[in-house]
Chains A and B, each alone.
Chain A
């Protein structure tokens, strides 16, 4: 048995509001499943679970705001939940019922009508009547969010009707699943103020010729449909990820006055949200991904972030951040580190500049890379090597 608790989705998060349960008692969950949606200052975050088991009890009602660390649900481990495991479990504290005494009374002539079969519900299967299913489908209702009152707890037509009535009543619920930009601004303000207050930043800048990248991308994308084309941002993230792998002083967290290098490289990708929001959810193991995989995950991440469906691990896992202004940006940006991370890499707009190559001046595609790093953890010398390494990696895009 273990408790699933309100996770911390950032250094400034003190509490979260539970807005949606995606599981119910009896459901099986496995590591990585999304089990709930929590409303935070960063918006509605899909919360994953990190252990497998069977949901025993939901402890927190919807729309309750609870502090980080509060148990949200009790979960039986797979071992405990197995049929027959009860025998192996420690004896209950309450005295067990006495064993049945053999009765002299014979079974009644007519056995009671067979109970409505309480078939062992397959994991995740909702017991609902055909009428309820059809009504729910017509209104796009997720049956796992409806409480059943029919035979063996089945969801009936009337249950869905009741749920519909409730769903229509409070319109706030629906809004809560979208981003609250005011709250997000408050969170950004708190994190950035803390960063500038606590982290002694130093800044480096490096101009890199990415003509090779551009040529490689042109060739690579020539035969691809638009939705699977690679962008230079993906190359930069991969290069930054590989660089961070080689220079661990820029990949990790500064906590309790000491630096904890991270084992994996999860690159936080700064994503602007229309209307004035910003989030930097993680591209997990960015240094390990192929460029195609990285690109498709990046597309998914951007799309989900902008629709307010980020996962809890994506919020809490980034070990380093990459911020790219893209084609509409300017030549250079100097980022503010997102605590407790220790570095942020900035990627400016690619511009065409006169450049000396092999003793001759010619037009080349130039990008300005910047690094903002935590001087408590690293020095400018190491930072320069790290930034130069990213620039070097971008010279051979085929090897990324």
Chain B
């Protein structure tokens, strides 16, 4: 009776808790699932995502690892090939560079190199993004790099629903899936259906409908973009906000449908501009929707500098709502 009430209601929850619930559900539903990473057990996770899970599930399922990203990512790949469903937590994308060889050279290629004899059903979670004054070496947004690699999928949950729902779907995938959690979202709280569960991981979502311009973004930038859309609405500009959700593969159809309607696009991407995911999306629009365009495609990316430590400089270096508003108005000839 009580369960019924809870299931049909909404609960107040943080993004961090939503990710934790997703891990709990996965461990409970599938005995092959385990979480592995630096400080995920006794410390409860660098971002406290796995707090309490060691006590609940024990060291077999919640495994602290040495400080060796290459080593434990490789162990995760091996476990996956051997039939397990590991969740590897890399503390942040900054440290994932130490595991780059395992991810790009091994996880992404084993199915191909083995002639389809082996797959790597592995999920790697990692934090990404700037904004917490962690300075240049701990503030990268390199998910665009991973989105370059065939053989893996790249997800960017921006909402509570996706934080809660993408993990299980990713674990069902026969190939490696990387999930990027923006560091600025962990403390975000909101209402989530008590019975929230798995969601699809192959489609972009329209987070706000509009007719004048498509603002295409993902992850932590989604909320800045929605803020910009609200500001634009005050000036009678109806922006449509697209949350990519999946960075590889990209949902071209949703992007083109939106651009065909609005005829204008600005891409908001916390990665650096040069060689960015934003560049890729812009080019796809040119390839597939050129004749629908009414203005040059705009981009709001991070400034091409190492991310600064001082708060005001850090904020100035990454996309913010006023920059998005300015780019949208420029595309509408109302700069």
Would you call B149 an interface residue if the criterion is a C-beta within 8 Å of the partner chain's C-beta atoms?
Answer: no
Whether A152 pairs with B333 at a CB distance below 8 angstroms is yes
Whether A154 pairs with B291 at a CB distance below 8 angstroms is no
Would you call B290 an interface residue if the criterion is a C-beta within 8 Å of the partner chain's C-beta atoms?
Answer: yes
Identify which of B291, B323, B326, B332 gathers the most chain A CB atoms within 10 Å of its CB: B291
Would you call A132 an interface residue if the criterion is a C-beta within 8 Å of the partner chain's C-beta atoms?
Answer: yes
Whether B326 pairs with A156 at a CB distance below 8 angstroms is no
Whether A151 pairs with B295 at a CB distance below 8 angstroms is yes
Whether A131 pairs with B292 at a CB distance below 8 angstroms is yes
Contact of A151 among B292, B326, B333 (CB under 8 A): B333
Give 1 or 0 for each of B288-304: 1 = CB within 8 Å of chain A CB.
Answer: 00111111101000010
Identify which of B293, B298, B303 gathers the most chain A CB atoms within 10 Å of its CB: B293
Whether B292 pairs with A113 at a CB distance below 8 angstroms is no
- A150 with B333, Cβ < 8 A, contacts A129-B294, A131-B263, A156-B295 known: yes
- A129 with B293, Cβ < 8 A, contacts A109-B316, A113-B323 known: yes
Would you call A96 an interface residue if the criterion is a C-beta within 8 Å of the partner chain's C-beta atoms?
Answer: no
Would you call A116 an interface residue if the criterion is a C-beta within 8 Å of the partner chain's C-beta atoms?
Answer: yes
Whether A129 pairs with B263 at a CB distance below 8 angstroms is yes
Report the interface size for chain B: residues with CB under 8 A from the other chain: 20
Q: What is the CB-to-nearest-CB distance from B146 to chain A, in angstroms, rounded to a whole number?
A: 28
Rounded to whole angstroms, the CA-CA distance of A322 and B295 in the bound complex is: 56
Residue of A at shortest CB range from B212? A158
A residues within 8 A CB of B332? 150-151
Rounded to whole angstroms, the CA-CA distance of A131 and B285 in the bound complex is: 13
Whether A116 pairs with B293 at a CB distance below 8 angstroms is no
Whether A150 pairs with B294 at a CB distance below 8 angstroms is yes
A residues within 8 A CB of B295? 116, 129, 150-151, 154, 156
Identify which of B290, B294, B332 gathers the most chain A CB atoms within 10 Å of its CB: B294
Whether A132 pairs with B294 at a CB distance below 8 angstroms is yes
Whether A110 pairs with B294 at a CB distance below 8 angstroms is no
B residues within 8 A CB of A151? 295-296, 330-333, 335
Whether B291 pairs with A131 at a CB distance below 8 angstroms is yes
Rounded to whole angstroms, the CA-CA distance of A153 and B298 in the bound complex is: 17
A residues within 8 A CB of B326? 113
Give 1 or 0 for each of B307-333: 1 = CB within 8 Å of chain A CB.
Answer: 000000100100000010011001111
For chain A residues 136-179, which have a beta carbon within 8 Å of chain B?
149-154, 156-158
Residue of A at shortest CB range from B323? A113
- A131 with B327, Cβ < 8 A, contacts A109-B316, A152-B333, A154-B333 known: no
Whether B327 pairs with A130 at a CB distance below 8 angstroms is no
Whether B296 pairs with A116 at a CB distance below 8 angstroms is yes
Contact of B316 among A110, A131, A149, A157 (CB under 8 A): A110
Rounded to whole angstroms, the CA-CA distance of A156 and B292 in the bound complex is: 10
A residues within 8 A CB of B290? 130
Rounded to whole angstroms, the CA-CA distance of A130 and B326 in the bound complex is: 22
Q: What is the CB-to-nearest-CB distance from A285 to chain B, in angstroms, rounded to a whole number?
A: 46
Q: What is the CB-to-nearest-CB distance from A16 to chain B, in angstroms, rounded to a whole number?
A: 35
A residues within 8 A CB of B296? 116, 151
Q: List 6 A-B contacts (CB under 8 A).
A: A110-B303, A113-B323, A116-B295, A116-B330, A131-B263, A133-B291
